[in-house]
């Protein structure tokens, strides 16, 4: 299978490469020939590829009539998808040998029928059927000629490809990550994959995987971000650059006069979302959720507490109605995360956790054993005559 890896351009990538090799840069891109597309998917995206991905009859890699397709996962940042990017890739693939044009033969040498299989391409092998004493004959692909029925003598083989018909070639490809492309989108380089004599070359298919961004989340063409403002800004308003966008632009915002912003209040900034794929001049929206930073104790020490109290809204009174019995409690700080970890889940996620832990966490536990084909356990196949 063809492999590709991004050309090492910057120092950061070089150090990743030095530490983890090519796999560190592009896991999955180095999948060997035994690794199929589904394996690479599972390894790269986690989970089972059947969820959301259909490797049906046209699944890449098992297409008949062309050379092997290559699926290469490619990690991108949200900035890449916002701004677009061209990536130069070093590629390795099988190409048809130019010296023998894929015949594998030197000069005009003609292959002779394989002596092992008499040119049939397959040999009879004894297989055990039904019981230890009965044997049957079946055909297996000849290992000496690879099933072609023909063989070249050692000295008649093409010097360049050693009779293999293809050679390993390193090339360079450029892929374009277009503005607005989405996670798991495919970029197909038609015919850029492995070649086999007499067949159209396979495709190279890059599948984008977006790395999580530290400040933006994407949903379709919209973006979501959190902006932290101070208590003073929440109460009295602000006019400043509140964030740096994915293209490095600052976004400046003035809150409406007289507007108090409460924790988790959100606003929408139209047209500051992701560019629309193929229509990059159009953009989605940017949602901003405000987090409010409370002043710290240092601030409290520097102010006249009485005068702060005088300007703030009044404190609350006791609960109403007044309980008959009142106990005094201690104010002890706690780590709410710890409390949650200790508690038995029985609230909002009761149905997610409560039931599954009761009936087994793994859905596989429900797998029906009747599906198993037990025939092999008895040493005979379904073809055995019944007596
Ligand atoms: Zn050759
Ligand atoms: Zn043979």
Residue 241 has pLDDT above 90, yes or no: yes
Ligand in nearest proximity to the CA of 166? 1
Q: How far apart are CA 249 and CA 271, in angstroms?
A: 14
Ligand in nearest proximity to the CA of 107? 1
Q: How far apart are CA 75 and CA 213, in angstroms?
A: 12
Ligand in nearest proximity to the CA of 152? 2
**What is the reported pLDDT for 247?**
97
Residue listed under structure tokens 């073809």: 383
* 86-131 tens-digit pLDDT: 999 888 889 999 999 988 898 888 888 888 888 888 888 776 655 5
What's the Rg (C-alpha) of the chain?
A: 33
**Mean pLDDT rounded to a whole number for the chain:** 77
Q: How much distance in Å is there from the Cα of 106 to the middle of ligand 1?
A: 7
Q: How much distance in Å is there from the Cα of 107 to the middle of ligand 1?
A: 10
**What is the reported pLDDT for 198?**
86
- Token pair in block for residue 262: 């409460």
* 61-84 tens-digit pLDDT: 444 467 778 898 999 999 999 999
Q: How far apart are CA 164 and CA 34, in angstroms?
A: 18
Residue 138 has pLDDT above 50, yes or no: yes
**What is the reported pLDDT for 7?**
62
Ligand in nearest proximity to the CA of 121? 2
Q: 84 near 177, Cβ under 8 Å?
A: yes
* Average pLDDT over every residue of 55-59: 39
The percent of residues in the chain predicted with pLDDT above 90, rounded, is 45
Q: How much distance in Å is there from the Cα of 106 to the middle of ligand 2?
A: 20
Q: How much distance in Å is there from the Cα of 157 to the middle of ligand 1?
A: 8
Residue 339 has pLDDT above 70, yes or no: no
**What is the reported pLDDT for 364?**
42
């Amino acid at each position: 299978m063809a492999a590709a890896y991004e050309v090492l351009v910057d120092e950061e990538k070089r150090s990743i490469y030095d530490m983890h090799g090519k796999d560190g840069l592009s896991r999955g891109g180095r999948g060997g020939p035994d690794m199929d597309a589904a394996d690479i998917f599972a390894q790269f995206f986690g989970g089972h590829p059947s969820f959301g991905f259909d490797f049906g009859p046209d699944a890449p890699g098992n297409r008949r009539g062309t050379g092997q397709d290559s699926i290469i996962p490619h990690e991108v940042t949200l900035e890449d998808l916002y701004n677009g990017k061209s990536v130069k890739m070093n590629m390795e693939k099988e190409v048809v040998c130019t010296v023998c044009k894929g015949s594998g033969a030197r000069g005009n040498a003609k292959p002779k029928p394989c002596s092992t299989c008499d040119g049939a391409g397959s040999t009879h092998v004894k297989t055990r059927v039904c019981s230890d004493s009965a044997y049957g004959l079946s055909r297996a692909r000849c290992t000496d000629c690879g099933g072609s029925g023909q063989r070249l003598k050692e000295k008649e083989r093409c010097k360049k490809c050693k009779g293999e018909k293809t050679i390993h070639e390193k090339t360079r490809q450029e892929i374009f990550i277009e503005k607005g492309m989405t996670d798991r989108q495919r970029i197909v380089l038609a015919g850029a994959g492995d070649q086999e004599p007499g067949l159209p070359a396979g495709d190279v298919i890059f599948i984008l995987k977006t790395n999580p961004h530290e400040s933006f989340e994407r949903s379709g063409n919209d973006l979501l971000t959190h902006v932290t403002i101070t208590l003073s800004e929440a109460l009295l308003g602000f006019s400043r650059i509140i964030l740096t966008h994915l293209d490095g632009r600052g976004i400046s915002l003035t809150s409406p006069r007289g507007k108090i912003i409460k924790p988790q209040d959100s606003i929408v900034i139209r047209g500051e979302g992701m560019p629309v794929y193929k229509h990059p001049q159009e953009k989605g929206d940017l949602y901003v959720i405000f987090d409010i930073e409370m002043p710290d104790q240092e601030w409290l020490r520097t102010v006249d507490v009485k005068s702060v109290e005088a300007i703030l809204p009044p404190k609350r009174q006791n609960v109403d109605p007044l309980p008959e019995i009142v106990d005094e409690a201690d104010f002890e700080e706690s780590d709410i995360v710890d409390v949650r970890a200790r508690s038995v889940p029985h609230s909002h996620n009761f149905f997610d956790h409560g039931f599954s832990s009761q009936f087994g966490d793994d859905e596989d536990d429900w797998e029906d054993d009747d599906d198993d084909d037990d025939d092999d356990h008895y040493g005979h196949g379904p073809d055995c005559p019944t007596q």
